[in-house]
Amino acid sequence: MRLTPDQFWTYWEWLFERGGLLGGFLLALILAVLGFIAGFLIATIKYGPAEGFLQVAKILGEFFTVDLPKMSIRRIFAIAKLSFKEAIRNRILIVVAVFVVAIMFAGWFLDPKASNPAQLYIPTVLTFTNWLMLLMGLFLSTFSIPRDIANRVMYTIVTKPVRPTEIFLGRVLGFVAVATMNLVIFGVMSYFFIVRGLSHTHDLESLQNDGLAGETTSVRFHSHSFTLNEDGVGTTNMVKGHRHIVRKVGDKVVVSEQVDDLTARNPVYGTLRFTGRDGEENTGYNVGYMSEYQKYIEGDTLSSAIWKFENVDPKLFPDVLNFDMTLSAFRTYKGDIETPVGGVVIFRSLDGEVESDRIPFRVKEFQIDQHSIPLKLKGFRKGEPADLDFFTDIAQNGSFEVVVRCRDRGQYLGMAAADLYLRASEGTFVWNFIKGYISIWLQMFIVVCFGVMFSTFLSGPVAVIATISVIVLGMFGWFIDNLTTGKISGGGPVEALVRLPLQSGSETQLDLGNEMIEGAIKGVDRGLLFSVSTLKSALPNLYDLETSDFIAYGVNLFDGLLARHLTIAFGYFLMTSVIAYFFLKTREMAG
């Protein structure tokens, strides 16, 4: 799972300090100015400058003095009810049958030998549900109003007492209600599909003479080893992302169902910085991988990764301090390829005068490496051995540093800010799963808003194309950004079209033998990419609203992040409702 720096922002930090509110206000202002200019130009062509200005002013005035104040909840609900019935009449529930069939056969295509089945099942189900809901919102929202306009029903509806605002809100509410009903069905079915698909247990294969350790049978291509304490209770080792609780009941050893695969951990994150082999601060090493998400530290040197945690509440860790790591390793020589690369963890105070003993570990790649240390621990105070209390001596005021170093010469450890965190109390998987479906609902809601808005001034097929463009730019806008910034080689669409018949690779320079033609191609591409990038910045970033990784990797979806997504969805709802109002009002004036 990869977390970007902006996902660590709190809701209020994003809203006020990081420009969330300002960006939304500027977008609304720009659209208002462009809308006024476009409306004035169209009215001028039709009526002349003076009369055109009066027409635009009249529409603006009626929005604030008539339509908005006199909007009726009863009429909105009536239109929503009709929209709901219309969607049911159009056999939208067939989508449920499609989902049921997909769930029934999904297990055939999911690899039972996967290293972590939960991280395979959950994203598969959530991604499929997400795209199905986007398509449902697309086709629900784009054909209804054009059909009414084609049948000339709209010219009757837009006359009093039904107002344009009520038409838009009623349509959106009705279509969202139908989609929400389907999403609830999908969510319940998905939950039981995941639980049933992952649920299993093991029998006892062997038991050592002391009766406190043993092996389980192999089920679903894996087995576990376990140890029991003196009370006859213990856990197995972590395999395929889960463990099992083991209890000794009388003369029998019972292995229960799995734990740790369907979780909702509440991580406490810190900020990360690096030091080089000489101990001086740097930005971490790049070992040649294309992705720079993780930076690396060098083994058997002073090269370190240092996490700083601030204001950690001691109440979150009453007995022990739990921390998890998801580090990666890079080997410059193979040698013993079976033994994982080793490292050490050191907890120390901010002034560096108090630190814990070195805690050795071996990297567990592609899985969560769980650790815990007691709050009463051995360490050093000003270089002298001492008995320490974690929150009194090391983490005064809840602030401290965690230092990670690689022990093996010639090897490297890779990490990002989210790859080491404190593991506080866990939330419930069910609520985290519901929050994941709330994110899917928000994406569907935004698509419905845009679909209804486009349908107020475009025909059905054209509204579908426009809404699909919103979805594509919202999901894959990062690709446009990479093209614009040059992170992806090969140029823009025109250059790519020229390269095809020439069979010219994207990594080579475009060579047509004519600098003027090459410059013209690149100039046209820059214009096209700038236009698309500008349009993309005004549209919702649906990719950022995708939260399936949180659910799959067992991380409790941040409440601040979910609140941010709710705010974004509400903002686009307001924007599309205002735009739809003016287009419907224009049709009313024309009628």
Residue range 25-49: average pLDDT?
A: 86
pLDDT of 209 over the 90 cut: no
Strand 304-309 relative to strand 233-236, pairing: unpaired
Give pLDDT tens digits for 352-362: 999 999 999 99
CA distance 405 to 342: 9
Q: What is the pLDDT of residue 160?
A: 53
Phi, psi torsion values for 426, nearest 5 degrees: -90, 145
Domains of the chain: 5-197+428-590 (no CATH), 204-259 (no CATH), 267-423 (2.60.120)
CA distance 464 to 216: 55
The whole-angstrom distance between residue 158's C-alpha and the CA centroid of its chain comes to 40
pLDDT of 223 over the 80 cut: yes
Q: What is the pLDDT of residue 588?
A: 59
Specify the 3-state DSSP secondary structure of 263.
coil
The model's confidence at residue 68, banded by pLDDT at 50, 70 and 90, is confident
Residue type, 240: K
Residue range 312-340: average pLDDT?
A: 87
N residues, the chain: 591
Specify the 3-state DSSP secondary structure of 135.
helix
Which of the residue ranges 80-84, 292-296, 365-369 would you say has the lowest mean pLDDT? Answer: 365-369
Residue range 457-464: average pLDDT?
A: 89
Residue pair 347/355 in contact by the 8 Å Cβ criterion: yes
Q: What is the pLDDT of residue 433?
A: 95
- Nearest-CA neighbor of 131 among 451, 542, 428, 539? 542
Residue range 79-92: average pLDDT?
A: 85
Which of the residue ranges 13-22, 203-212, 403-412 would you say has the lowest mean pLDDT? Answer: 203-212
pLDDT of 156 over the 60 cut: no
The model's confidence at residue 457, banded by pLDDT at 50, 70 and 90, is confident
The whole-angstrom distance between residue 437's C-alpha and the CA centroid of its chain comes to 12
pLDDT of 210 over the 80 cut: no
Q: What is the pLDDT of residue 351?
A: 92
The model's confidence at residue 91, banded by pLDDT at 50, 70 and 90, is confident
Q: Count Cα atoms within 13 angstroms, Cβ side, for 158.
A: 23
Residue range 483-512: average pLDDT?
A: 81
Which of the residue ranges 377-381, 401-405, 521-525, 567-571 would you say has the lowest mean pLDDT? Answer: 521-525
- For the chain, the first-to-last Cα distance in angstroms comes to 55
Q: What is the pLDDT of residue 271?
A: 93
Q: What is the pLDDT of residue 208?
A: 83
pLDDT of 229 over the 80 cut: yes
Residue range 76-104: average pLDDT?
A: 84
pLDDT of 589 over the 60 cut: no
Residue range 136-160: average pLDDT?
A: 73
Q: What is the pLDDT of residue 290?
A: 64
Residue type, 416: A
Give pLDDT tens digits for 539-557: 999 999 989 989 988 899 9
Report the percent of the chain where pLDDT is more than 90.
Answer: 45
The model's confidence at residue 500, banded by pLDDT at 50, 70 and 90, is confident
pLDDT of 288 over the 90 cut: no
Q: What angle do CA 579, 582, 583 make, to 5 degrees?
A: 90
The model's confidence at residue 284, banded by pLDDT at 50, 70 and 90, is very high
pLDDT of 375 over the 80 cut: yes
Residue pair 495/521 in contact by the 8 Å Cβ criterion: yes
CA distance 511 to 533: 26
Residue pair 235/246 in contact by the 8 Å Cβ criterion: yes
CA distance 319 to 321: 7
Averaged confidence pLDDT in the chain: 88
Residue pair 21/571 in contact by the 8 Å Cβ criterion: no
pLDDT of 153 over the 80 cut: no
Residue range 147-176: average pLDDT?
A: 76
- Which tokens go with 341? 């690369």
Tokens 């001492």 correspond to 386
CA distance 503 to 280: 48
Which of the residue ranges 172-186, 413-427, 511-525, 571-585 would you say has the lowest mean pLDDT? Answer: 511-525
pLDDT of 143 over the 60 cut: yes
Residue pair 175/83 in contact by the 8 Å Cβ criterion: yes
